[in-house]
Amino acid sequence: MPVAIQDQPPTPPTAKPASTHPPTHPGLIHVHRSDQAFGSFAISSVSLPAGTLFTKITGATPSEKAYTSVQVSADSHIELNSDLVYCNHSCDPSVVFDMEKMEVRVVDERPLSKGDPLTFFYPSSEWEMDQAFDCTCGSGKCKGVIRGAKGMGWEGLKGYWVNGFIGELVREEEREKNGQ
Ligand SMILES: [Zn+2]
């Protein structure tokens, strides 16, 4: 999903789920495939109002933390095993990944249009990313290097929906910082 930064070994594109597998969300997600590592991305095939359900997350399996995994609690991760893995990071995302309800929703701020890239804000689910990366989302509010929510504080996460366990980890971090 993310673009690897220079000090990480390059990951061959074959590490991604096989590009020949049948679409897991036909009529909902179109995957723009690229032979370049991290070049593939998901596009919405539908238009939906802000805040509505895009899809439930099904078929996920527990996994170690990896560049394709998504965090689901303070200490566990899953692999999506579907075309949802092609939803890349953006600092101005189109959807949220609610890993407690196991659903993908359109962001509350704006509707989703057919043809929009499906993107979410990785720090909303990732505390410390397996691979930090330089964000190239081009948004005016781009955060630059994306490492996960750790160290961002409420100030850095302001305006973003985050999973409950990320909120709890931020609260813990702030308590420690304040010596409480
Ligand atoms: Zn960005």
Spell out the CATH class of 13-177.
mainly beta
Query: From ligand 1's centre to the CA of 134, what distance in Å?
Result: 8
> Both tokens of residue 70?
């998504």
Query: What are the sequence ranges of the domains in the chain?
Result: 13-177
Rounded Cα–Cα distance for residues 173 and 180 (Å): 10
Q: pTM of the predicted model, to two decimals?
A: 0.87
CA distance 57 to 84: 8
Question: 3-class DSSP state for residue 93?
Answer: coil
How far does the centroid of ligand 1 lie from the alpha carbon of residue 92, in Å? 7
Residue 179: pLDDT band with limits 50, 70, 90: confident
| CA 48 to chain CA mean position, Å | 19
**pLDDT tens-digit readout, 102-122:** 999 999 999 999 999 999 999
Q: How many angstroms separate the alpha carbon of residue 64 from the centre of ligand 1?
A: 25
CB 106 within 8 A of CB 46: no
Tell me: pLDDT of 15 over 70.
no
The 10s digit of each residue's pLDDT in 48-104 is 999 999 999 999 999 999 999 999 999 999 999 999 999 999 999 999 999 999 999
Separation of 180 CA from ligand 1 center, angstroms?
A: 33
Query: What's the 138 CA to ligand 1 centre distance in angstroms?
Result: 6
